[in-house]
């Protein structure tokens, strides 16, 4: 069974070396595992909560997209997209908002910290707090639940949000699932072994401490930053203590075992800090120089990046669109046509159980095939008119063994070389195969 891994990157800044070692590099490594089905996205709706500078939002989305691609993310293997290109996400956010307990959100750390700050300053508790900040965890729950992610790699500060996603998803399942689990329960994945890099001053490398080393800006800027790494005042020739030097820690995060051993020995033998910084620069430049060039090539071709992200969005929406259709159905947001035809169909085909339900959309006609228990087995493609849609359902019912093709954890149904309908995305191959069995049963000729 494949494990679906999903994580979002808030697009407010420019990635630095600490983000690279702590999040980007391990995520790319994880995405190469054969049993991983990875979803990485730019959380640009989340960015709007923290930032009201449109230029900065725009710039950061571009830089983060280019960084991940330059760092080696293979977009054919993973699903890489912008949150704001998936309209199903804000729509699901609303469905979840309507079941999320306000009391649960009152307990969110980020919101509580803002309230505490206001209270300490003698202000109104909610001064300057937007509904965006308050609802942040619901939007994040929609990100995760939309794609039924099993694992969500995040920093420790985000564990609570993943727990809230479970809580909200469970509540939705309970209220609307009728015994069916719409949402998989996600787990936060905290990578213990991943490096938290020290910054120039030895504290954790972080934009808020202003102690970062830039990742892909330019060789000169990287060199300048390295020259500002704080060291002790031991002179060249005096022995240095590698274990108390964050310069050494930084070196180690990018070096092989042999390189680290050699560097350690040289420091113990009195290598000067100036030379040590030069060695660190050479190591980083060697490791990252090529990716830096590819980063700059990408940044110069924003239209190509746009195409890559649009393709990613299409891939994501192949899952999101039919799934959201099911969820809308579950909460009662159904076409009036569906409702009346369902009633009629239920009567007519009571013996058979499964039923076709056709409905109209702005751009044409479609149908769903629902199993006896109401589970959606198929959502058709769009047809120009109701007659064609009807002819297709007829052919499916009378056409003998259907042409079913699996595609990941979903499947498609074909007639005469054309794809006529898609299944929803199932949690795994087992669930998918069970649905294929129900489909065959539903389409098998009646024995009555
Ligand atoms: N809130 C996350 C952060 O700040 C980013 C994020 C948004 C995210 N949606 C997500 C992470 C969904 C994991 C899954 O780091």
pLDDT, tens only, 288-345: 999 999 999 999 999 999 999 999 999 999 999 999 999 999 999 998 886 655 555 5
What distance in angstroms lies between residue 83's CA and the mean position of ligand 1's atoms? 11
Q: Taking CB atoms and a 6 Å cutoff, what residues make up the pocket around ligand 1?
A: 6-8, 10, 43, 46, 140, 143-144, 152, 154, 158
CA-CA distance, 277 to 389, in Å (whole number)?
A: 69
Average pLDDT over residues 34-57: 95
Choose the residue to mutate in 7, 160, 162 for probing ligand 1, maximizing ligand atoms within 8 Å of C-beta: 7
Q: Which numbered atom of ligand 1 lies nearest the CA of 83? A: 9
Domain 216-296 matching CATH 1.50.10.20: the answer reads no
CA of 15 to the centre of ligand 1 (A): 15
The model's pTM is 0.75
Neighbours of 264 (CB within 10 A): 18
Please report, for the chain, the start and end positions of each structural domain, with discontinuous segments joined by +.
Answer: 3-100+135-196+301-331, 216-296, 336-443
Give the mean pLDDT of 266-289. Answer: 96
pLDDT tens-place string over residues 250-262: 999 999 999 999 9
Q: Which of 34-48, 231-245, 258-272, 429-443 has the lowest mean pLDDT?
A: 429-443
Report how far ligand 1's centroid is from the alpha carbon of 352 (Å): 45
| 8 Å CB contact between 43 and 9 | yes
Report residue 124's pLDDT band, with 50, 70 and 90 as the boundaries.
Answer: very high
- pLDDT category at 60 given cuts 50, 70, 90 is very high
In this structure, the residue with its CA closest to atom 4 of ligand 1 is 10
Distance 187 CA to ligand 1 centre (A): 13
pLDDT in tens, 377-403: 899 999 998 888 888 998 888 877 789
What is the rounded distance in angstroms from the CA atom of residue 97 to the CA atom of residue 142?
A: 9
Of the candidate CATH numbers 2.30.29.80, 3.30.1490.20, 3.60.150.10, 3.40.718.10, the domain formed by 336-443 belongs to 2.30.29.80
Residue nearest to atom 13 of ligand 1 (CA): 7
Strand order in the sheet with 3-10: 79-82, 36-43, 3-10, 151-153, 187-189
What CATH number was assigned to the domain covering residues 3-100+135-196+301-331? 3.40.50.620
pLDDT exceeds 90 at position 246: yes
Q: How far is the CA of 244 from the centre of ligand 1 (A)?
A: 33
Beta-bridged to residue 6, according to DSSP, are: 39
Ligand 1 centre distance from Cα of residue 46 (Å): 8
pLDDT of 71-103, one tens digit each?
999 999 999 999 999 999 999 999 999 999 999
CA distance 144 to 152: 8
């Amino acid at each position: 069974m494949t494990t679906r891994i999903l994580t979002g990157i808030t697009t407010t800044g420019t990635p630095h070396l600490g983000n690279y070692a702590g999040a980007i590099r391990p995520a790319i490594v994880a995405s190469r595992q054969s049993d991983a089905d990875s979803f990485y996205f730019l959380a640009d709706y989340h960015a709007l909560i923290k930032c009201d500078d449109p230029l900065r939002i725009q710039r950061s989305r571009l830089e983060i997209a280019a960084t991940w691609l330059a760092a080696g993310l293979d977009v054919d293997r993973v699903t890489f997209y912008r949150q704001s290109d998936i309209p199903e996400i804000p729509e699901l956010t609303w469905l979840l908002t309507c079941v999320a307990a306000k009391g649960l959100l009152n307990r969110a750390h980020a919101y509580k910290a803002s309230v505490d700050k206001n209270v300490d300053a003698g202000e109104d508790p909610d001064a300057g707090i937007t509904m965006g900040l308050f609802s942040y965890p619901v939007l994040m729950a929609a990100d995760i639940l939309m794609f039924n992610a099993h694992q969500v790699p995040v920093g420790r500060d985000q564990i609570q949000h993943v727990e809230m996603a479970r809580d909200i998803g469970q509540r939705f399942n309970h209220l609307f699932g009728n015994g069916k689990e719409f949402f998989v329960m996600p787990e936060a994945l905290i990578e213990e072994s991943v490096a938290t890099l020290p910054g120039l001053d030895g504290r954790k490398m972080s934009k808020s401490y202003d102690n970062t080393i830039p990742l892909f800006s330019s060789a000169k800027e990287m060199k300048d930053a390295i020259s500002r790494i704080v060291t002790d005042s031991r002179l060249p020739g005096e022995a240095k203590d590698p274990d108390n030097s964050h310069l050494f820690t930084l070196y180690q995060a990018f070096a092989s075992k042999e390189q680290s051993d050699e560097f350690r020995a040289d420091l113990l033998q009195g290598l000067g800090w100036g030379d040590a910084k030069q060695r660190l620069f050479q190591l980083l430049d060697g490791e990252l120089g090529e990716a830096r060039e590819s980063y700059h090539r990408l940044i110069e071709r924003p239209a190509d990046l746009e195409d890559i992200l649009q393709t990613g969005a299409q891939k994501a929406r192949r899952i999101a669109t039919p799934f959201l259709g099911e969820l809308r159905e579950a909460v009662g947001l159904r076409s009036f046509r569906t409702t009346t035809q369902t009633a009629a169909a239920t009567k007519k085909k009571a013996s058979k159980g499964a039923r076709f339900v056709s409905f109209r959309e702005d751009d044409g006609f479609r149908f769903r095939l629902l199993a006896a228990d109401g589970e959606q087995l198929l959502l058709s493609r769009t047809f120009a008119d109701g007659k064609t849609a009807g002819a297709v359902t007829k052919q499916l019912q009378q056409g003998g063994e259907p042409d079913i093709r699996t595609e990941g954890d979903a499947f498609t149904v074909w007639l005469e070389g054309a794809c006529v309908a898609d299944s929803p995305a199932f949690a795994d191959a087992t669930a998918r195969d069970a649905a294929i069995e129900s489909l065959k049963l539903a389409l098998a000729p009646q024995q009555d």
